[in-house]
Amino acid sequence: MKQASVLVAAALLLACSGAPNAAAQAQRKKADSSAAEERVPMEKVVKSDADWRKQLSPEEYEVTRKKGTERPFTGRYWNTTQKGIYLCVGCGAELFSSDTKFDAGCGWPSFWDTLGKKHVRVRVDDSHGMVRSEIVCDRCDAHLGHVFEDGPLPTGLRYCLNSVSLKFVPAK
């Protein structure tokens, strides 16, 4: 049974890793160059492993500090449609807006843009036999999920996140 669960999770990861959206690539290149210019250093949050364990639930710790992944269609925000802002569960940095959230059909909350490029950093992730673009909180280095080049216009990006790495604040 465990092997079947692993195979299903691997298949979903591959299915959600889609091909680049060619229509958005030129637009994204221009946006990427201006994003580098707008990056403003945030005050870093640095804590010991023991402090992170005290602050976070076991699942939040596993995902954000150990680069785990929650199962698809199980996270608290994968199908949330309420208006509001998504914060980093580790440090409270504002990361994503419900205005850019969309249903990608992969079982994880998906967004086509961040709430300011300075809050999210992209790193190469070569785990699990594939190369992906990992996204982390720029302030506390929490693992958030991955970004793929198969999202909708205007960015062509799909930020695929773990619900457990986020805290949702509804709009008033």
160 is catalytic: yes
Q: Is the model's pLDDT at 21 over the cut of 60?
A: no
Mean pLDDT taken over the chain: 83
Q: How many domains does the chain have?
A: 1
pTM recorded for the entire structure: 0.78
CATH number at residue 101: 2.170.150.20
Residues 6+ apart with CB under 8 A from 169: 84, 85, 86, 87
* Per-residue pLDDT tens digits for 59-81: 999 999 999 999 999 999 999 99
Q: Note the pLDDT tens digit of each residue in 105-160.
A: 999 999 999 997 789 999 998 888 999 999 999 999 999 999 999 999 999 999 99
- Show the domain range for 60: 2-170
Question: Which sign, positive or negative, has the C-alpha torsion 67, 44, 117, 96?
Answer: positive
Element (H, E) at 169: strand 166-170
Q: Which of 16, 88, 140, 160 is catalytic?
A: 160
- On the question of pLDDT at 15 being above 80, the answer is no
Report the 10 Å Cβ neighbour count for 58: 8
83 vs 28, more confident: 83
